[in-house]
Amino acid sequence: MMNEFSELDLDVLKEIGNIGAGHAATSLSLLLDRKIEMHVPAVKVVDFDEMMNLAGGPEERVVAVYLRIHGDAPGNMFFVLSPMQAGMFVKQMTGVVSCQFTDPPYDDMAVSAMQELGNILTGSYLTSLADFTNMNLQPSVPALAIDMVGAVLSYGLLELSQYSDQAIVVETLLVDETGSTQDIRGHFFLLPDPDSYQKIFTSLGVNAHD
């Protein structure tokens, strides 16, 4: 099924990543009171192992916020950060210096602040996506995992894996404008269910089989 997409289709998905992550970057800027920028989104057709490599490799420990998208175009979404970056975010948000995700056990407040951050970012991504496509898209309550990339992201591939050995990954990177070694890098991964692509394209007036 993954070979059926045209360049135009992939451009549409790229634009979705652009709009969603653009809004999320704005939310994050407001939250942290510093300028956050966004890289041009990448839309890639990758096999599952390649997808894990995009997020740092299957064994790499990450902080990931996962949510299920319900409604007109169901799918899965992840926001993935390195434990170091997640710790920095939460320190800036809460002002509590002890917040960290590099060594368990984790502070309850750090976990709940990270969950809230994920909630805000994925929520603003999804809201803008719903507005853009004029579809009804509702996020589930986001769940947080601090674990290996493969263990976390493979959960989002379960629906898809029944149809294909490849995934279309709409990947967007958020970066701190200073570009220093302290910069913030966060990955959004949008993984629509197989049936959802056609609905997304139709909602935007694009016929996937032109």
Partner 1 sequence: MIKVAKVVKVGIADMNFVTTPDMLKTSGLGSCVAVILFTRHRQVAGMAHVMLPSSSLNHSPSLNQAKYADTAIQALLAGFKKHHIAGYMLKAKIAGGAQMFPFASQKDDGLARIGPRNVKAVRQQLEAHRIPLVAEDIGGTAGRTVVFDPATNILQVKTADRGVAEI
Contacting partner 1 within 163-192 (CB under 8 A) = 163-165
**4 forms part of the interface with partner 1 (CB under 8 A):** no
Cα separations in angstroms, 33 against 23, 27, 126, 128, 190: 15, 10, 22, 21, 26
Which among 135, 112, 139 is positioned nearest to 123, based on CA atoms? 139
In the bound complex, what is the minimum distance in angstroms from residue 79's beta carbon to partner 1?
Answer: 13
Regarding beta strands 75-81 and 185-192, do their DSSP bridges make them parallel or antiparallel, or are they unpaired? antiparallel
Pick the binder of partner 1 from 29, 119, 127, 154 (CB under 8 A).
154
By the 8 A CB rule, do 64 and 144 touch?
yes
In the bound complex, what is the minimum distance in angstroms from residue 179's beta carbon to partner 1?
Answer: 29
Contacting partner 1 within 17-46 (CB under 8 A) = none
In the bound complex, what is the minimum distance in angstroms from residue 20's beta carbon to partner 1?
Answer: 20
**148 forms part of the interface with partner 1 (CB under 8 A):** yes
**Window of 18-26, 85-93, 148-156, 173-181 that interacts with partner 1 by CB under 8 A:** 148-156
**104 forms part of the interface with partner 1 (CB under 8 A):** yes
By the 8 A CB rule, do 135 and 71 touch?
yes
Contacting partner 1 within 55-94 (CB under 8 A) = 57-59, 61, 66-68, 70
- 23-44 burial string, b = 16+ CB within 10 Å, else e? bbbebbbebbeeebbbeebebe
